Structure 1
Amino acid sequence: MSDTEIPEEQDDVLFEHHRIVADQKQGLVRIDKFLMARLPNVTRTKIQAGIHAGFVKVNDKPIKPNYKVHPRDVITVLFPEPPRDTDVIPENIPLDIVFEDAYLMVINKPAGMVVHPAYQNWTGTLVNALTYHFQNLPQLPGNDGRPGLVHRIDKDTSGLLVVAKDEMTLNGLAKQFFDHTIERKYYALVWGIPEPAEGTINMNVGRSLKDRRVTTTFPKGDMGRHAITHYRVLKDLRYVSLVECQLETGRTHQIRAHMKHLGHPLFNDSMYGGNQVLKGTVFSKYKQFVDNCFTIIPRQALHAKSLGFVHPITKERLLFDSDLPNDFKEVIEKWEHYVKYN
């Protein structure tokens, strides 16, 4: 099962990828151990996460990770996208390359570009562009069709992404992500003003049991995966605020789910309720102003602003920063003007 660093946003439909029928002489064994022996390049942790998410069924019924396989059990492994050949079609799509050497490159991804091919997005992705411009990019085990990638950012999030050109670099970067030593700072425009103005959100996140497309928080910590976000308010704009979020872990939709849990969804984040007027007045003039801002930035206001890591080959500490894209800057300027004159 693919690492949660680089999943794609998903539909609620699940498609069968594996069907395994247990032998009639099968001894009782835990389902996670059973699948580890039969699925290539999959860790026990990933299998357990898939079971928790409902991606594994026995005899068409969801089970727990401690379920013991019985003779003639029918085990199905499902994914939110249909099976497909992992061959990637190269496409001549321009890339905004911030840094490049013989081993890696740092790319500034525009909002609206999907990182890798997946269900409903087989073309026009960053990976389609990479395979056109570069030959023989390496792949992590279990990440077929995602050459060079060790992490991803959401389709409608803009910002910095590192891509490896060879296997040694790929493995070196992957270890830094695993060890949480990569420095990643995002800028987010959120509804309201978080209090305190600086803090840490330490809350498990995982797929919502009601809607698989959405990541939710699990306060009790018995579900989901460990996730930590450090935040700091950079600009108080009365009704919204510009917040810097530093990731300690990199879970799917982590910032979006954490900020919603804090009561401050990202501005115009339709999946997490930020595409409504959540703070401010009831006057029609104000609502029209907000709607105009939504038109300017028709996506969640999130940008991967800086990225720091140790170069796996040269061992040099590298830190990259990026400008906010024009839609993000324009919306901030609109809010600054509004709170100054209203």
Structure 2
Amino acid sequence: MSKSNETVFTATEQEELLPFLIRSMPGKGRNHVKAILARGQVYVGGKRTTKHNHPLSPGQKVTVSWTKSFEEEILQGVSILFEDDHLLVVEKEAGLLSIASDKEQQFTAYAMLTDYVRRANPRNRIFVVHRLDRDTSGVMIFAKTEKAKETLQANWQDAVEARIYVALVEGKVRQPEGVITSWLKESKTLKMYSSPHPNDGQKAVTRYKLLQQNAEYSLLELELETGRKNQIRVHMEDLGHPIAGDKKYGSRQNPLGRLGLHAQSIAFTHPITGEALRFATKVPKAFYKRSEQV
């Protein structure tokens, strides 16, 4: 230990930085340690590094800073869960656009992350792999190279093992679990809907499981078998239990002051290394509070 706002560890053998940090901080989970490293809070021999595989030698000092990092000040509404030379996995807050729109160009996850990677090298870029709606919070993947983006998108169905969302929906869902299948189309007003005719549109499959409920709201865990535009929002409206705060898709109440949808976790195969990765985020407490038994 040194200053109160930092911790110093000493390497005792040759190994890579990430496993050393995980072993040195047993009270913190693997994803938390990755985030600390990604945010630039780790220094080896006095030099900041974000590389998981940075080699350590016996006797080398590793310092973890607990003060608010420069990167955190850049990223407003975005937290980095994982970073390597190919990918950025982040948690996005509700209210933040994934990418630019006609009305908003600068305050987006894409713009802030681009600024973040260019602090290291002005030529660095990021690429959108998939999106979350502005009012949906949770985990997102961005690529740092075109190869990583194209490989992941081309093999999305095989590469992504699981995408789990949690939704606060209106009403008391009767069936504790089920599967919703439909064919999605987009109207002239840009609203997605389920076609009444089989095979007419893009097939969409959503599995749901009831977590808890009261007379007004139900909390559901949702697993996507397909990843169509607004799929969950359409399927919850089809179920007769629209997502709280989703006026566009039938909701009449907004108890959270936001859309009641959170991308809780994603499990996928790294497009370059082939490593199996899984990242999970905490469901907002208000989701549980609104659906708990009184």
TM-score by length of 1: 0.59
Distance 1:178 1:121, change over 3 A: farther
Aligned to 1:156: 135
CA contact (8 A) 1:199 1:230 kept: yes
CA contact (8 A) 1:137 1:148 kept: no
Aligned to 1:281: none
Distance 1:225 1:308 in 2: 23
Distance 2:153 2:223 in 1: 18
Q: Deviations over 1:36-74 (max 9, x none)?
A: xxxxxxxxxxxxxxxxxxxxxxxxxxxxxxxxxxxxxxx
Q: Secondary structure at the match of 2:220?
A: strand
- Equivalent position to 1:260, from 195, 217, 237: 237
Q: Secondary structure at the match of 1:226?
A: strand
Aligned amino acid, residue 97 of structure 2: V
Q: Establish whether residue 333 from structure 1 lines up as the match of residue 292 from structure 2.
A: no
Aligned to 2:108: 125
Distance 2:157 2:269 in 1: 14
Aligned to 1:188: 167
The alpha carbon displacement at 1:236 in A equals: 2.3
Distance 2:180 2:111 in 1: 35
Aligned to 1:272: 249
Larger displacement relative to structure 2 (168-177 or 262-271): 168-177
Q: Secondary structure at the match of 1:227?
A: strand
The alpha carbon displacement at 1:216 in A equals: 0.9
CA contact (8 A) 1:157 1:303 kept: yes
Q: Deviations over 1:6-47 (max 9, x none)?
A: xxxxxxxxxxxxxxxxxxxxxxxxxxxxxxxxxxxxxxxxxx
The alpha carbon displacement at 1:189 in A equals: 0.6
Aligned to 1:41: none
Distance 1:335 1:229, change over 3 A: closer
Distance 1:275 1:298 in 2: 12
The alpha carbon displacement at 1:275 in A equals: 2.8
Aligned to 2:263: 304
- Equivalent position to 1:314, from 256, 273, 282: 273
CA contact (8 A) 2:166 2:261 kept: yes
Distance 1:115 1:262 in 2: 27
Distance 1:332 1:252, change over 3 A: same
Q: Establish whether residue 250 from structure 1 lines up as the match of residue 227 from structure 2.
A: yes
CA contact (8 A) 2:212 2:219 kept: yes
Aligned amino acid, residue 109 of structure 2: L
Q: Equivalent pairs: percent with the same residue? A: 36
Q: Establish whether residue 198 from structure 1 lines up as the match of residue 177 from structure 2.
A: yes
Aligned to 1:224: 201
Aligned amino acid, residue 193 of structure 1: K
- Equivalent position to 1:100, from 65, 69, 83: 83
Larger displacement relative to structure 2 (111-120 or 193-202): 193-202
The alpha carbon displacement at 1:223 in A equals: 3.2
The alpha carbon displacement at 1:194 in A equals: 2.9
Aligned to 2:60: none
Aligned to 1:116: 99
Q: Deviations over 1:243-277 (max 9, x none)?
A: 0111111111110001100111001211112134x
| Higher strand proportion | 2
CA contact (8 A) 1:197 1:233 kept: yes
CA contact (8 A) 1:270 1:300 kept: no
Aligned to 1:284: none
Aligned amino acid, residue 208 of structure 2: Y
Aligned to 1:167: 146
The alpha carbon displacement at 1:181 in A equals: 3.5
Distance 2:134 2:290 in 1: 24
Distance 2:124 2:173 in 1: 42
Aligned amino acid, residue 169 of structure 1: A
Q: Secondary structure at the match of 1:96?
A: strand
Distance 2:213 2:290 in 1: 13
TM-score by length of 2: 0.68
The alpha carbon displacement at 1:306 in A equals: 0.3
Distance 1:149 1:96 in 2: 16
Q: Secondary structure at the match of 2:242?
A: coil
Aligned amino acid, residue 84 of structure 2: D
